[in-house]
Amino acid sequence: MAVGELPLPEFYPIQGVRLGITSAGIKRVGRQDLVLIEAAAGSQIAATFTQNAFCAAPVQIAKKHWQTNTQGPLYLLINTGNANAGTGTQGLEDAMATCQGVAKLTQTPVESVLPFSTGVIGEPLPVEKILHALPQAYANLDAHQWVQAAQGIMTTDTRPKGASLCVQIDGQNVHLSGISKGAGMIQPNMATMLAFIATDAKLDAQILQKLHTRAVQKSFNRITVDSDTSTNDACILIASGQGAHLQSEAALQAFQQALETLQLALAQAIVRDGEGATKFVEVCVEQATTEQEALQVGFTVANSPLVKTALYACDANWGRILAAVGRAGVLNLDVNQIHIWLNDVCIVEAGARAASYTEEAGSQVMQQEEIKIRIALARGTVHASVWTSDLSHEYVSINADYRS
């Protein structure tokens, strides 16, 4: 299941960035499961990685290689079908072996290769299959294969996810293209699911990382499907530097905004395709004292199994929303000041059922596929949103059947 239609966009190719796809037969024969992304010499890479203490072998190596300054082109190697997580020392050796395969093929130092894996946890990575398939991925590197790459990184996703933008900054066209994957084990924590984004803009490396981190905090770090943080999350931003050179404060702000728009689209695409999702829900918390407080309430509501099953049942069960707000751990919360809306229907005023509320109005909102739960805390002026899906029978079926 997935919420609404969400076709892939027309991708703008990014000067200096090429993508190669092939089938290594990692989990299923014939499946396109191996993606190689090349960033030309001179590219900058910004990155965020999972904060899960059990971070997977490829994440550990990608982090290390990313921190090493190398000349020449950079390569991202991504496989699906196997997460290479919980695999101990062997896992690290296996991830390194695939990096060495790319290094040899491309005549670059091994530190130029960042590995990424997604799929089942705890199985040994089939290194031979990957090494065997690499030359084909390298041979078909092409700037126009974003669609194929989006398909090549899917796991339990029911559809590929991508976004692409062209914005005018300082009179020059700046292009951004990105792909993401993920449907379950989704509550990225200061990191994200797998997402790969590229731009042709030229930016100072430190500024690029700052803009990237800020955008991730406002997009991927505000979604949850099931409150579980993956071992393999990573979000990579390549700036090839072959296009507009952005330096002024105004230009950087414009770029930040474009980057946030793109990342939010990719993050929301993950929620819309959340495992078993039948609803796409924004939980917007207003009148909070701090962003942290707003997010705390937002995530408590978004992760409540009782709120999520009520959403699935199209039941305007405001009592469960109220109970979740009440247990979110906000100090000295005055519950008699709280207002809650479902889209435009006020369901709670001053901490109790709104006088104007009718079951019929609530029920009408709940029939919709996209719902906004708006919670006003009457404490301050800060607001923040998180995005989530519902908890359906299919979520249970998928995770009782699939071995992640």
Binding mask 151-180 for a copy of itself (x = CB under 8 A): ------------------------------
d(CA 198, CA 19): 11
- Binding a copy of itself (rule: CB under 8 A), the pick from 44, 52, 79, 118 is 52
Are the C-beta atoms of residues 340 and 318 closer than 8 Å to each other?
yes
Number of other residues whose CB lies within 10 A of the CB of residue 63:
15
| In the complex, minimum distance from the CB of residue 140 to a copy of itself, in angstroms, rounded to a whole number | 32
Q: Does 182 bind a copy of itself (CB under 8 A)?
A: no
Q: Among this protein's residues, is 80 annotated catalytic?
A: no
Q: Does 310 bind a copy of itself (CB under 8 A)?
A: yes
Is 385 marked as a binding-site residue? no
Q: Residues binding a copy of itself: what is the number (CB under 8 A)?
A: 65
Q: Does 313 bind a copy of itself (CB under 8 A)?
A: yes
Is 275 marked as a binding-site residue? yes
Q: Does 192 bind a copy of itself (CB under 8 A)?
A: no
Site for a copy of itself in 223-262 (CB under 8 A): 226-231
Q: Does 105 bind a copy of itself (CB under 8 A)?
A: no
Task: Between 242 and 296, name the residue whose CB sits nearer to a copy of itself.
Answer: 296
| Amino acid of residue 308 | K
Is 356 marked as a binding-site residue? no
d(CA 253, CA 368): 35
**Measured between alpha carbons, how far apart are the two ends of the chain, in Å?**
18
With 0-12 / 13-18 / 19 or more C-beta atoms within 10 angstroms meaning exposed / middle / buried, residue 4 is exposed
Is 64 marked as a binding-site residue? no
- At residue 118's C-alpha, the angle toward residues 27 and 126, to 5°, is 45
Q: Does 289 bind a copy of itself (CB under 8 A)?
A: no
Is 300 marked as a binding-site residue? no
Q: Does 106 bind a copy of itself (CB under 8 A)?
A: no
Are the C-beta atoms of residues 40 and 159 closer than 8 Å to each other?
no
Tell me which of 108, 192, 224, 278 is the catalytic residue. Answer: 192
Binding mask 59-88 for a copy of itself (x = CB under 8 A): ------------------------x-xxxx
- Binding a copy of itself (rule: CB under 8 A), the pick from 68, 71, 90, 368 is 90
Whose tokens are 């990014």? That residue is 14
Give the residue from 368, 358, 374, 363 showing the smallest Cα distance to 315.
Answer: 363
Structure tokens at 163: 């976004």
d(CA 4, CA 2): 6
Is 84 marked as a binding-site residue? no
By DSSP bridging, strand 74-80 and strand 195-199 are unpaired
Binding mask 24-43 for a copy of itself (x = CB under 8 A): --------------------
Question: Mind giving me the DSSP string for 262-321?
Answer: HHHHHHHHHHHT-TT---EEEEEEEEESSHHHHHHHHHHHHH-HHHHHHHHTT---HHHH
Catalytically active residues, by annotation: 192
Q: Which residues bind a copy of itself (CB under 8 A)?
A: 51-55, 83, 85-91, 120-122, 184-185, 189, 226-231, 303-306, 309-310, 312-313, 315, 317-320, 322-328, 330, 333, 335-336, 348, 350-353, 391-393, 395-397, 399-401, 403-404
Residues placed in the known binding site for substrate: 155, 181, 192, 275, 399, 404
